[in-house]
Amino acid sequence: MSPRISAPAITWPDLPALQQPPWPDAQELDRAVAELRVLPPLVFAGECDQLMQRLAAASVGQAFVLMGGDCAETFEANTADSIRARLQTVLQMSVILTYAASLPIVKVGRLAGQYFKPRSKPIEVRDGVEMTSYLGDAVNAIEFDAGLRRPDAQRLVRAYHASASALNLVRAFTQGGYADLRQVHAWNQDFVRESLAGQRYEAMAADIDRALSFMHACGANPDEFQRVEFYAAHEALSIDYERALTRIDSRTGLPYDVSGHFLWIGERTRQLDAAHVHFASQIRNPVGVKVGPTASPDEIVELAEILNPERIPGRLTLITRMGAGAVRDVLPGIVQKVDACGVPVVWICDPMHGNTREATTGHKTRLFDDVIDEVLGFFEVHRNLGTFPGGIHIELTGDDVTECVGGTGGVLEGNLGDRYETACDPRLNREQSLELAFLVADMLIKR
Ligand code: PEP
Ligand code: MN
């Protein structure tokens, strides 16, 4: 492949940026940034352009986006088994959605870069001891230890390398035969196979097998059945990391953030006049913004004008995360105003971040029923307004964890302590993820 992306030659204005780590040593940071600036791109501009086209289809109801993965990736879980399990979950969900709704599913992992976390409190206090909060593995360690909680800029470089190895494995899995549709049964192994959702999946996979055998007998074996397009996304939170990985594409002379195909701006950093939105406005990747229940319609219209002034379909995704209790009241006003302003957007529902609560056990959790109810509300609002529900954004894992309550697998509050493994927010386990996919497939059919 020709090296189309050259070293960066971009100057950035000095704008306020919220949620940046309190780096204790400016020279350490400069050294890490200098290293990052000359490392090879993780993704190519042409891939980002292709994703933009797929998102454009989702903006007009001709495709549906499935974005999923960890709240916070960790270096410890950057293993073949863990990455494969997450990929398997997304592939299984995607097959469920494609088969039921006969719609192309745009598959995007919250992975290979999701190493930075915004926090509501910059300082964590335990038994009177204060430390910098955990800000993601790219900044400090989760252990409550003064030395390990010190932001260490070399971790930025480590996050880059961890992302490179994860993406390498994802590319091998998705292009090298593992994602072949004839493997649909193979993705349904281990604990999930015996679950209700796993059995339902197995029946569907048998139907798909029969259809494939029929087509094969007719002489059709298209390339599309043997590979899948899979894209990597993360929150563009660390201004230093993302700027260092922004390069000028030598083909077009335009800047791309080569740390991931799709970057989003979080709910806490979407101020119109600050560094994150400015950064997103400069790069040519498709970008997203989280939109919570306190957002005003006017502010989101302004954001849409800033981030998509050329009105390019697929360029801007609004990831709404209102909470099950608010989605039906708050979302219509925003959708109406944005739709009327004429900037095309992809509407995606994140039914996780507006539905976080504390369990009686003290765990941060989410109720499966709230997650489903928010997606239902999202579909209702778009149906009423004649706009398109373009996708879902889910925190999930491939493992049998007990972090969210509910689902037919019956995770109860009392079970939360059994396998509560997340480094940040509670994720759906594999069975809950498949169950969600079947429910969303029904909503897509009735859309
Ligand atoms: C997240 O996606 O993990 C997150 C922090 O979301 P939000 O910005 O919507 O709160
Ligand atoms: Mn989260």
Percent of residues, the chain, with pLDDT higher than 70: 98
- The predicted-structure confidence for 116-130, as pLDDT tens digits, reads as follows 999 999 999 999 999
Q: Taking the model in full, what pTM does it have?
A: 0.97
Over residues 33-54, mean pLDDT? 98
DSSP classification of residue 5 = B
Q: CB of 254 within 8 A of CB of 282?
A: no
Q: Around ion ligand 2, which residues have CB less than 5 A away?
A: 71, 425
Which pLDDT band holds residue 375 (cuts at 50, 70, 90)?
Answer: very high
- Best substitution site from 234, 290, 318, 395 to test ligand 1's pocket, by max atoms within 8 Å of Cβ? 290
CA of 40 to the centre of ligand 2 (A): 28
- The b/e string for 252-287 (b: 16+ C-beta within 10 A; e otherwise) is eeebbbbbbbbbbbbbbbbbeebbbbbbbeebbbbb
- The predicted-structure confidence for 211-255, as pLDDT tens digits, reads as follows 999 999 999 988 888 899 999 999 999 999 999 999 999 999 999
Over residues 403-407, mean pLDDT? 97
Take atom 4 of ligand 1 and give the residue whose Cα is closest.
266
Take atom 1 of ligand 1 and give the residue whose Cα is closest.
71
Is the distance from the beta carbon of residue 71 to the nearest atom of ligand 1 less than 6 Å? yes
Ligand closest to 276 (CA) is: 1
Is the distance from the beta carbon of residue 270 to the nearest atom of ligand 1 less than 6 Å? no
| Per-residue model confidence (pLDDT) at position 439 | 97
Q: CB of 24 within 8 A of CB of 132?
A: no
- The predicted-structure confidence for 14-23, as pLDDT tens digits, reads as follows 999 999 999 9
Taking the C-alpha atoms of residue 30 and residue 70, their distance in angstroms, rounded to an integer, is 29
Over residues 177-186, mean pLDDT? 87
Which pLDDT band holds residue 178 (cuts at 50, 70, 90)?
Answer: confident
Residue 356 above 90 pLDDT? Answer: yes
For the chain, which domains are there?
A: 26-446 (3.20.20.70)
| Per-residue model confidence (pLDDT) at position 192 | 83
Take atom 2 of ligand 1 and give the residue whose Cα is closest.
71
Q: CB of 62 within 8 A of CB of 104?
A: yes
Taking the C-alpha atoms of residue 229 and residue 397, their distance in angstroms, rounded to an integer, is 20
Q: CB of 397 within 8 A of CB of 361?
A: no
